[in-house]
Structure 1
């Protein structure tokens, strides 16, 4: 007799249907899970992911290399090696955060700042410039999308590796080619520099020789300059002596001119007095002429008195006329109160002649002093001329020495320039 299987705490028996359900249910659940987790990337057609690019690129040889932008473009366009079942959207930080929160985006890929610089540091390290840095990206997903993390990371890693590999290879090769080109240019410049160095050494040797010649000529010019300065000092001393004698002659000339002026003044006074005496003599001569006429008339009357005439014979009448004529003659000679006589005019003439003689004597003295001053002036002018001649000779010697000194300095500068250029 078969005993039925009973459930715990119940008297109802366990049926075969219950046993079959217990055996089949785990297999069904396992099959569902296996089916759900088998090749999840093939069923991501409706999944969206945001790309946030914070990189600003790096400048290489004057050109901008935006590796972050190129990586974002590679993710959007997809890769030939990896099937892209994700809808990539280029976004910003705010939109990506909100999209992950509300379920618009299941994942966010953030390319940080300095990504390009860190990625290109390996190429710089190959050229011996600095140490390489690690270029990283950040991937964040929604809380309910953890099952897709591995699939997203696989696709992002594959596309990022392909994009960065191509970009870095291109940049590295360009840098290598540029380095080889720069090396060739530098070798050519080094050869040119060696040639210029040899030419500079030859020029330096020539410049040193010219520098020695210029130094010799400079020494000669300095000697001649010293001689010219000595002659210039002698000429200046002679010029000073001549100037002193010229000053003495000028003073003597001034004294003679003053004496000449005084004599001329006295001569002018004597001439004035002489003119007054001459006028008085002329007046006396006029009176004398008039008296002589009267004397002639008296003589004629005396003759008539002596000889007698028909109208008036007799000596008495003639004697009276003669007495009158003599009286007029005496008056003409001695003069009267209103009209000076001949004697006064003669005295004034004598006085004028004396004053004229005194003025002529002083004039002769002044002329002598003028002659002495002119003689001293001539001597001073002669000595001044000698001093000026010596001064001119000294200036000529100084000019010659300065010219040779300038030539020596020029050759010295040329030699120094060639020596510096070499």
Structure 2
């Protein structure tokens, strides 16, 4: 499979399929877009892909950029289970990594630089550690020498390198504020502080990394929202700038042993600057500012029944969500799914008319006009006249039910006499 893909890449890059394909597979790196000619999103993304290629080339990156038409190379699309378009994958050696972030140049380049390099990078000095911390909001760090925990860490890093950064360091390069109870250790640095992994309390390392790879509160888009939903945790969303003071207080008043700390662990926090996505989810118009708790596993949501003004109001609402007493709206049932499809179609049509009214009138008016014309012609069509005998032709005598010639009748229905027949 890998050799076949490399041959296709060689052909796409104007190389000749040769024994060097294995060299291309293990020493060259590619980020490829899988597309179809009929996909409108693929055509929209194509200029961004060219910008990514130009930027990576100017940076001296070893990653090559290309695209594959899945209608031509159907076996490759089947091999990599390509279902949506455009699909972006980065190939490094015998590994492939899916990109599921925003379709922007900066986001794709950041993903490429993170994944194309070593999965785990060493931090060899205090200055390098501080430099990394100043450029990234969240990083995982393994502290210590070789151990079984380090092998687990490298395995988990290979799985989650598509989402975040992984490093190794010694105790000497860590900030002085970091206190380790034991070495080796794994720490996540985020939100201006750090959290240590405890195998007894936190369980599986991969599960802990997947749970901790999000900041405690950050700006959420549709991509990160569904990634957070995979954790089966409610997502607390609010309008940034309106309730931010409540969130900051809420995040800082938690102390170990209180009821509130459990609320923090069981809910992910985030904010959105717009309400378009939420409007599509609830099939309505939320009032700005808004507070909403989403259950992305079933596309459900909870809204506060009263205005949130104090910390107590917020905690009361969150606890009602956790204990199940809050009313769960929405869902992914057949009826809700059908309503959401029609609502999305309606929103699309409205946005089209708002953006290009004349073009939209033409697009929707042309088929409607054709249908109306066909119906009108069908209803107003004149039936064909009955067949008449040609001039000069003799009409065949009528036959009765037994096949005999019917008797000629006078207009008044009386049979002609023999004299009348002679006169005829």
Compute the TM-score of the two structures, normalised by the length of structure 2. Answer: 0.18
Higher relative contact order (CA 8 A, sep 6+): 1
The structure whose residues are more often strand, as a share, is 2
The structure whose residues are more often helix, as a share, is 1
Larger Rg belongs to:
1
